[in-house]
């Protein structure tokens, strides 16, 4: 009798639990300051409007591609919306793990009536990708290096100039971006970079250029490493995401400056996994429509120095929420910063990534 | 007494033979102990062994090519890659039919990714072509529709190709759409007369029914279906005889007109969509990787590649895995040896000290064990980096000049130091538990017989501690072979392990086949070393306590 009561109570509890989870929505992001900015700009206002929704955050974006594939094979998708970089979105779309969207019906139009597909424009790099921000991979350098005799680097090729700017550099432990920068500084014109990189000789040229600084490079694999290395004076100049450098310079007040020359633009955004149930899909589509409208994207820039992906959001970018400084001059897309930028070619890298990565790793190991 | 009982069977009290009763009792005992471990056994099998086998199987599995391009790989069999010429029109026709199905099912990009592992450029070749393949053969559709507008009607196609039973079943369903649609069935007559059309239209109808949940009676067929019909009509001008009524007239009219149709080369359409389709080299890759199982991943893992002409080594600038295997084994041995050199005296001290001191020391040994791996690794960064604590101290006391700070991290030294620290408890604990059981009276006896301290230790104490060394060394070695977080953080470029590449292929490049092959090779290497160890030291000589 007692056992039966317990059992019934347990069942009731489980059912109550089930009912409570019906409105759960799991968002996957990168953690840290970036996820905090998404929470403040998108999720909190949305939950205020829809108190029945319980937003759960999962900090798995770095392994999102592998985890989504595993979930798909297991037939149990537990994520509703996943934040990934554009190249991962293309891969997930290729694998059939991300859902194709129709920008004009699934995303909100701009306040002046411009359709979403025009407002996002070229940034819709894949049928599955819903862009949020434009970020850039660029360099930061210390301003107190005695050996430099008061000079400061202002050209991407200063990274490769050990005579004028001695000291250690930090670069990302993968071929993407590094190969392009090496060729740019080896005299290849910006528009020819990928044509040259396609050839064996072009790749050798890029490696030869990287060879010239190889002994002075610390290779990073997590975005937080370069800011730490710069703060510790372990390196004097290093590449990382511009938002990380913003935090280092403006929030931690380190003697570091940005070198915006030849910054490489990249995109980050949402994808909706395939295989969601109808209710979950309807809920997440509703959220996405809200979270990627003009005002919400502009709001995110209050918390982090990444540029909104909509053209219509740019004029609305205001001041930092806690520092009270104007954010516009810290955006990678600001005209002053974007004098010389480099566009990352997703489709090219989708082809050459495996091949060049093997060569790059072999080169590193030499 | 003994000879009276020897030839009669011993029985229990209730008259059963003692032997059988004993065996039964024993069997029951065994069954009970098996039932006791059964939950664990089942748990291990389901959650550990099965996934590992599944994962390792991926290292040879290669079904995606023959599943996505079933028609193409059959026709491609006859193509001779040694000719250096791209295959003929029939291969491209088959490719068109395969690809339109793959594109509609969104499988072609997956295939492109798979083949791109073998040949750079195939990923975008499939992606680009996939966007255009749905209007390949449009010229045939236009001409057929111009000839007779009935070809525009979905019903024409369904009536021509389906069995009458399916048509009536579908009509019943359409009148009252409850429950699943009746699955499309191609009629035998149509299959004989128009084999290609029946095949492709069948795939179309299945797709419409299962993916879109629509009726083939209401959906326009894919454009390549028209091309298939044209091809069938040219091959079999008498196709109309297989049909009756209006369909026969329609097919007869089309068959009569077909030889005068304006034609288009599908091969040229493909090459127009992407030049790479004209390359014999790319076709050779598709042919080489057509079988359901491949040795390609294992060859990649051994720095070789499968080419149409056989196995050959990769170009020198892409060879990395064998070197990484070698480095992993070498560094793991060095880490094991340094753990032993550092751990042995500590374990000895632990075993020799009175209990209250040894407990304190044991806590000190275990303390880092309870700290997060990442915290410990980061702590080593702070200590070892060039502007770090150790270098600052050495510069301050004047041993090294400020300009010549030691490089102790982001290289092999960093990996060895950090991993030795992390794995030290795995060496100390088995050593300690074995040393604890060595009775001090043996050493005392040796000394009383005239041995000096060293001889007593080396000849009497040390041999007894070998089982602990064996256990500790195996633990540390096997753990260090699989480590990747620590090498990634402190190893720079010269201190990373093969596991770093496995992790990369699992989580980043998604080349799970290669990751599985690398993992299998690593597993085999460890098992081999284990066997060698068994030969030299003896596995029964390993003790954890």
Same-domain pairing of B79 and B99: yes
For residue B367, the model assigns a pLDDT of 86
Given B252, B277, B294, the domain boundary residue is B294
What is the distance in angstroms between the Cα of A28 and the nearest Cα belonging to chain B?
A: 16
Q: Count interface pairs A-B at CB distance under 8 A.
A: 84
What is the distance in angstroms between the Cα of A172 and the nearest Cα belonging to chain B?
A: 11
**pLDDT (average), residues A117-141:** 94
Contact, B505 vs A66, CB < 8 A?
no
Determine which of A5-9, A178-182, B208-212, B398-402 has the lowest per-residue pLDDT on average. A5-9
Q: Do A95 and B323 touch (CB under 8 A)?
A: no
Cβ neighbours of A348 in B, within 8 Å: 124
What is the distance in angstroms between the Cα of A307 and the nearest Cα belonging to chain B?
A: 26
Same-domain pairing of B72 and B172: no
**Which residue, among A74, A91, A95, A361, would best test binding to B if mutated, counting the most B CBs under 10 Å from its CB?**
A361
Q: Do B509 and A94 touch (CB under 8 A)?
A: no
What is the distance in angstroms between the Cα of A68 and the nearest Cα belonging to chain B?
A: 10
What is the full DSSP assignment across B262-313?
A: ----HHHHHHHH-GGGG-HHHHHHHHHT-SSB-SHHHHHHTTEEEETTEEEE
Read off the pLDDT of residues A193-203 as tens digits, 9 standing for 90 and up: 999 999 999 99
For residue A187, the model assigns a pLDDT of 95
Residue B316 domain-assigned (yes or no): no
Within 10 angstroms of residue B315's Cβ, the number of other Cβ atoms is 13
Predicted model pTM: 0.88
Same-domain pairing of B203 and B335: no
Residue B179 has which token pair?
A: 């429950």
Contact, A174 vs A357, CB < 8 A?
yes
Q: Do B320 and A362 touch (CB under 8 A)?
A: yes
Same-domain pairing of B334 and B428: yes
Same-domain pairing of B375 and B500: yes
For residue B124, what is the nearest residue in chain A, using CA coordinates? A351
Number of domains in chain B: 4
Same-domain pairing of B154 and B112: no
Cβ neighbours of A168 in B, within 8 Å: 386
Pairing of strands A81-85, A256-271: antiparallel
Same-domain pairing of B151 and B286: no
Residue B306 domain-assigned (yes or no): no
Q: Which of B109, B493, B494 sits opposite A94 (nearest CB)?
A: B109
Residue B151 domain-assigned (yes or no): yes
Angle at B122 between CA B118 and CA B124, to 5 degrees: 140
Same-domain pairing of B278 and B378: no
Same-domain pairing of B346 and B473: yes
A260 confidence band (pLDDT: 50, 70, 90): very high
Residue B313 domain-assigned (yes or no): no
Same-domain pairing of B359 and B481: yes
Query: Domain range for residue B419?
Result: 321-541
Given B42, B57, B72, the domain boundary residue is B57
Pairing of strands A237-241, A256-271: unpaired
Q: Do B509 and A353 touch (CB under 8 A)?
A: yes
- What is the ipTM for the molecules in this complex? 0.87
What is the distance in angstroms between the Cα of A335 and the nearest Cα belonging to chain B?
A: 33
Chain A within 8 Å of B50 (Cβ-Cβ)?
no
Interatomic CA distance for residues A20 and A282, integer angstroms:
18
Q: Which of B122, B320, B494 sits opposite A358 (nearest CB)?
A: B320
Q: Which of B110, B511, B512 sits opposite A96 (nearest CB)?
A: B110
Q: Which residue carries 């009792």 as its tokens?
A: B25
Residue B307 domain-assigned (yes or no): no
Same-domain pairing of B473 and B330: yes
Residue B188 has which token pair?
A: 């035998």
Q: Within chain B, which residues score under 50 in pLDDT? A: 1-5
Task: Report chain A's mean pLDDT, rounded to a whole number.
Answer: 90
Instruction: Classify A253 in phi/psi space as left (phi over 0), alpha (psi -120 to 50) or beta.
Output: left
Given B294, B313, B338, the domain boundary residue is B294
Q: Do A347 and B323 touch (CB under 8 A)?
A: no
Same-domain pairing of B7 and B89: no
Read off the pLDDT of residues A264-305 as tens digits, 9 standing for 90 and up: 999 999 999 999 999 999 999 999 999 999 999 999 999 999
A21-134+267-330: CATH topology: D-Maltodextrin-Binding Protein; domain 2 (3.40.190)
């Amino acid at each position: 009798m007692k056992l039966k009561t317990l059992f019934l109570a347990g069942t009731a509890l489980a059912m109550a639990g089930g009912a409570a989870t019906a409105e759960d929505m799991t968002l996957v992001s990168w953690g840290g300051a970036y996820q905090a900015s998404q929470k403040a700009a998108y999720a909190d206002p949305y939950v205020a409007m829809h108190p029945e929704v319980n937003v759960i955050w999962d900090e798995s974006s770095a392994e999102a591609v592998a985890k989504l594939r595993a979930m798909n094979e297991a037939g149990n998708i537990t994520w509703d919306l996943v934040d990934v970089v554009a190249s991962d979105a293309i891969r997930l779309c290729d694998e059939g793990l991300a859902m194709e969207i129709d920008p004009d019906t699934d995303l909100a139009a701009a306040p002046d009536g411009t359709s979403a597909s025009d407002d996002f424009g070229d940034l819709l790099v894949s049928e599955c990708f819903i862009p949020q921000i434009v970020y850039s991979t660029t360099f930061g350098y210390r301003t107190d290096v005695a050996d430099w005799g008061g000079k400061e680097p202002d050209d991407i090729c200063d990274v490769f100039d050990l005579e004028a700017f001695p000291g250690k550099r930090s670069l990302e432990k993968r071929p993407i971006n590094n190969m392009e920068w090496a060729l740019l500084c080896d005299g290849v014109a910006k528009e020819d970079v990928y044509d040259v990189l396609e050839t064996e000789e072009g790749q050798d040229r890029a490696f030869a250029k990287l060879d010239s600084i190889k002994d002075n490079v610390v290779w990073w694999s997590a975005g937080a490493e370069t800011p730490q290395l710069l703060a510790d004076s372990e390196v004097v100049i290093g590449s990382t995401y511009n938002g990380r450098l913003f935090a280092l310079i403006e929030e931690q007040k380190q003697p570091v400056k940005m070198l915006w020359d030849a910054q490489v633009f990249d995109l980050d955004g949402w994808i909706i996994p395939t295989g969601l149930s109808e209710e979950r899909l309807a809920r997440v589509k509703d959220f996405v429509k809200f979270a990627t409208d003009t005002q919400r994207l502009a709001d995110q820039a209050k918390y982090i120095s990444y540029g909104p992906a909509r053209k219509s959001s740019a004029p609305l970018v205001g001041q930092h929420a806690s520092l009270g400084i104007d954010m516009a001059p810290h955006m990678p897309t600001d005209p002053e910063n974007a004098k010389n930028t480099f566009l990352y070619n997703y489709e090219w890298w989708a082809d050459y990534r495996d091949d060049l990565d093997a060569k790059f790793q072999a080169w590193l190991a030499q | 007494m003994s000879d009276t009982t020897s030839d009669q069977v011993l029985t229990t009290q209730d008259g059963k033979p003692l032997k059988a009763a004993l065996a039964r009792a024993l069997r029951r005992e065994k069954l009970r102990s098996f039932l006791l471990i059964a939950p664990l056994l089942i748990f291990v099998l389901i959650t550990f062994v099965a996934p590992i086998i599944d994962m390792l199987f991926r290292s040879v599995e290669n079904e995606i090519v023959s599943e996505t391009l079933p028609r193409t790989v059959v026709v491609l069999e006859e193509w001779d890659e040694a000719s250096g010429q791209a295959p003929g029109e029939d291969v491209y026709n088959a490719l068109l039919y395969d690809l339109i199905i793959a594109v509609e099912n969104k499988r072609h990009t997956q295939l492109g990714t798979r083949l791109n592992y073998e040949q750079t450029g195939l990923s975008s070749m499939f992606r680009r072509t996939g966007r255009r393949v749905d209007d390949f053969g449009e010229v045939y559709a236009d001409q057929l529709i111009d000839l007779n507008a009935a070809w525009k009607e979905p019903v024409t196609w369904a009536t021509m190709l389906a069995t009458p039973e399916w048509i009536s079943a579908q009509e019943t369903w359409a009148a009252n759409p409850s429950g699943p649609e009746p699955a499309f069935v191609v009629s035998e007559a149509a299959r004989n007369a128009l084999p290609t059309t029946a095949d492709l239209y069948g795939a179309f109808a299945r797709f419409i029914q299962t993916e879109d949940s629509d009726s083939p009676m209401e959906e326009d067929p894919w454009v390549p279906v028209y091309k298939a019909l044209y091809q069938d009509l040219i091959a079999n001008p008498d196709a109309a005889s297989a049909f009756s009524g209006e369909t026969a007239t329609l097919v007869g009219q089309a068959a009569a007109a077909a030889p005068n149709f304006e034609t288009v080369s599908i091969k040229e359409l493909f090459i127009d969509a992407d030049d790479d389709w004209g390359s014999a080299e790319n076709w050779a890759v598709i042919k080489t990787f057509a079988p359901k199982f491949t040795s390609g991943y294992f060859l990649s893992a051994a720095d070789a590649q499968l080419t149409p002409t056989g196995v050959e080594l990769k170009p020198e600038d892409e060879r990395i895995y064998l070197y990484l295997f070698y480095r992993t084994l070498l560094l793991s041995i060095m880490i094991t040896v340094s753990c032993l050199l550092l751990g042995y005296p500590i374990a000895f001290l632990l075993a020799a000290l009175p209990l209250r001191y040894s407990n304190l020391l044991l806590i000190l040994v275990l303390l880092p064990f309870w700290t997060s791996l990442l915290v410990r690794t980061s702590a080593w960064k702070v200590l070892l980096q060039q502007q770090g604590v150790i270098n600052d101290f050495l510069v301050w006391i004047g041993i090294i000049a400020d300009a010549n700070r030691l490089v102790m991290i982001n290289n092999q030294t960093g990996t060895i130091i950090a991993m030795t620290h992390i794995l030290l408890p795995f060496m100390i604990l088995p050593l300690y538990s074995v040393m604890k059981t060595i009775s001090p009276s043996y050493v005392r006896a040796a000394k009383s017989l005239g041995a000096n301290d060293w001889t007593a230790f080396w000849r009497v104490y040390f041999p007894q501690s070998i089982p602990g060394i064996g256990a500790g060394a195996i633990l540390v070695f096997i753990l260090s072979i699989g480590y990747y977080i620590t090498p990634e953080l402190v190893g720079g470029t010269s201190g990373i392990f093969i596991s770093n590449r496995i992790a990369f292929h699992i989580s980043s490049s998604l080349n799970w086949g290669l990751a599985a092959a690398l993992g299998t090779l690593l597993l085999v290497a460890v098992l081999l070393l284990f066997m060698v160890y068994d030969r030299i030291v003896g596995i029964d000589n390993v003790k954890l306590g």
